[in-house]
């Protein structure tokens, strides 16, 4: 567990998100999937119910194949596994599409900070000292870290680290590492880029557990810039404490394996129940049994059942969990970047608090292990227009 003691703790200074170009409607995908079970009425009804109750309305994919009729798709349930794309084929798509999505998310984070700080984009880019890339849906070398560094024109001396194959909670590992880097080097600026192309690994399985995964996972990228904020800077998430916990005897609950035809995911049905037992205790550990008045709960929407269960466990009001439900509805589960989508959604809502307020909250996600990751975040509320005017005036004075 890490608590920052610095007068100005490290903070998430800006966030960017991106999705690939192909948008799919959940109702259409449900119909698409059910057509593979035309000879099994019970399965057809189950598929339609699964998609209707998933909490997802739209998702994004890097695969145009996912928009084709089942008889033309190499990913449709019941397809001969030998006729589905090999892992090598899928990695070729990953190599191309992951860089594009990651670059777009990173550029948005850099652009957003440029607008907040008043510095031009080149100045912000040159200030980045560390790059952390996060992904569990593909690998290649020279890797995502080098490709993004080149495409963004980061300094050749930027220090790069890959956080790989850690699943939906991996952004927390990146944030914790960024926090440690900035605490040790207060002048550091750390760019985190999370990219997942989950739909690359859809399997032609007719097993219900596999079909559940195919109903909620999606593609996307999230990025954020971490550093020590300037005096008086707001519209940021200060990083407080972190807590991580591995739950004993749950190794088989969430398994992500590399196969000959893509990566395969196994999800146990009792994941929500297990997380519901761990999360309350983990929250107390995070805050040394003295949690503040938490106004926002950025919970990774791994699925509707998880969100519903934790809402009940923590007795959350609808508005406290609304950003998680909104992200699940509009994007599905994008694995590691999803928490950045949730924080971006929360940021819009937290700006409604009185200017100058400090709003305490918690971020929470889960991954293979089972692992539970938590972080204490404090949002500093700003008057966005007033701040922009002040920065513009200060910039004019500095160059005059």
pTM attached to this predicted model: 0.92
Distance (Å, rounded) from C-alpha 224 to C-alpha 236? 11
Q: What is the residue-averaged pLDDT of the chain? A: 90
Distance (Å, rounded) from C-alpha 124 to C-alpha 225? 10
Q: Which of 206, 227, 248 is the last residue of a domain?
A: 227
Per-residue pLDDT reduced to its tens digit, 174-199: 999 999 999 999 999 999 999 999 99
Greater confidence (97 vs 206) lies with 97
Q: Does 159 reside within a domain?
A: yes
Q: Does 3 reside within a domain?
A: no
68 plus 212 within the same structural domain: yes
Q: Does 1 reside within a domain?
A: no
221 plus 263 within the same structural domain: no
In CATH, what number is assigned to the domain containing residue 334? 3.40.47.10
Give residue 396's pLDDT.
32
177 plus 297 within the same structural domain: no
156 plus 252 within the same structural domain: no
Q: How many domains does the chain have?
A: 2
Mean per-residue pLDDT, 21-25? 94
131 plus 254 within the same structural domain: no
Mean per-residue pLDDT, 217-233? 95
53 plus 18 within the same structural domain: yes
106 plus 215 within the same structural domain: yes
Greater confidence (154 vs 2) lies with 154
Mean per-residue pLDDT, 200-207? 85
186 plus 298 within the same structural domain: no
Distance (Å, rounded) from C-alpha 330 to C-alpha 345? 11
**pLDDT beyond 70 at 27:** yes
Greater confidence (7 vs 35) lies with 35
Give residue 206's pLDDT.
82
Give residue 6's pLDDT.
52
Model confidence at 269, pLDDT cuts 50, 70, 90, reads confident
Greater confidence (333 vs 383) lies with 333
**pLDDT beyond 70 at 5:** no
Q: Which of 166, 198, 227 is the last residue of a domain?
A: 227
Give residue 385's pLDDT.
46
Give residue 38's pLDDT.
77
State which residues form the domain around 23: 11-227
Question: CA-based Rg of the chain, rounded to a whole angstrom?
Answer: 21
Q: Does 289 reside within a domain?
A: yes
Q: Does 110 reside within a domain?
A: yes
**pLDDT beyond 50 at 352:** yes
User: DSSP of 329-370, one letter per residue?
Assistant: HHH-B-STTHHHHHHHHHHHHHTTSPTT-EEEEEEEEEETTT
157 plus 39 within the same structural domain: yes
Residues 113 and 192: beta-carbon distance below 8 Å = no
223 plus 240 within the same structural domain: no
Among residues of the chain, what percentage have pLDDT more than 90?
73
Per-residue pLDDT reduced to its tens digit, 278-335: 999 999 999 999 999 999 999 999 999 999 999 999 999 999 999 999 999 999 999 9
Among residues 136, 168, 194, 224, the one annotated as catalytic is 168
242 plus 208 within the same structural domain: no
303 plus 274 within the same structural domain: yes
Q: Does 46 reside within a domain?
A: yes
Q: Does 399 reside within a domain?
A: no
Distance (Å, rounded) from C-alpha 377 to C-alpha 382? 16
Q: Which of 169, 193, 227 is the last residue of a domain?
A: 227
Give residue 323's pLDDT.
98
168 is catalytic: yes
Q: Does 394 reside within a domain?
A: no
Give residue 201's pLDDT.
93
């Amino acid at each position: 567990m890490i608590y920052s003691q610095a007068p100005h703790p490290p903070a998430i200074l800006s966030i960017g998100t991106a999705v690939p170009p192909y948008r799919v409607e959940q109702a259409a995908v449900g119909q698409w999937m059910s057509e593979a079970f035309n000879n099994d009425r019970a399965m057809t009804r189950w598929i339609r119910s699964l998609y209707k109750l998933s909490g997802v309305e739209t998702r994004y994919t890097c695969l145009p194949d996912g928009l084709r009729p089942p008889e033309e798709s190499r990913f449709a349930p019941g397809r001969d596994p030998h006729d589905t794309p090999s892992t090598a084929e899928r990695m070729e798509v990953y190599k191309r599409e992951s860089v594009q999505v990651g670059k777009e998310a990173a550029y948005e984070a850099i652009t957003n900070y440029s607008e907040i700080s008043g510095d031009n984009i080149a100045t912000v880019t040159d200030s980045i000292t560390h790059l952390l890339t996060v992904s569990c849906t593909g690998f290649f070398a020279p890797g995502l870290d080098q490709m993004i560094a080149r495409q963004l024109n980061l300094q050749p001396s930027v220090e790069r680290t890959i956080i790989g194959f850690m699943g939906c909670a991996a952004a927390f590992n990146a944030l914790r590492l960024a926090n440690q880097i900035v605490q040790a080097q207060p002048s550091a600026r750390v760019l985190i880029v999370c990219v997942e192309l989950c739909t690359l690994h859809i399997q032609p399985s007719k097993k219900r557990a596999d079909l559940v995964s195919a109903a909620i996972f999606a593609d996307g990228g999230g990025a954020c810039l971490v550093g020590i904020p300037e005096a008086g800077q707001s519209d940021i998430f200060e990083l407080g404490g972190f807590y991580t916990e591995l739950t004993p005897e749950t190794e088989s609950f969430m398994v992500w394996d590399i196969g000959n035809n893509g990566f395969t995911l196994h999800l146990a049905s009792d994941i929500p129940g297990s997380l519901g037992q761990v999360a309350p205790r983990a929250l107390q550990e995070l805050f040394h049994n003295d949690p503040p008045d938490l106004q926002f709960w950025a919970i990774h929407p791994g699925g509707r059942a998880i969100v519903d269960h934790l809402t009940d466990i923590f007795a959350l009001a609808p508005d406290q969990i609304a950003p998680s439900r909104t992200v699940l509805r509009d994007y599905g589960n994008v694995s590691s970047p999803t928490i950045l989508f949730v924080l971006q959604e929360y940021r819009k809502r937290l700006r409604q608090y009185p200017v100058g307020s400090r709003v305490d909250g918690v971020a929470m996600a889960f991954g293979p292990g089972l692992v539970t990751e938590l972080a204490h975040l404090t949002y500093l509320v700003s008057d966005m227009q007033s701040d922009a005017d002040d920065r513009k005036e200060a910039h004019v004075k500095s160059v005059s």
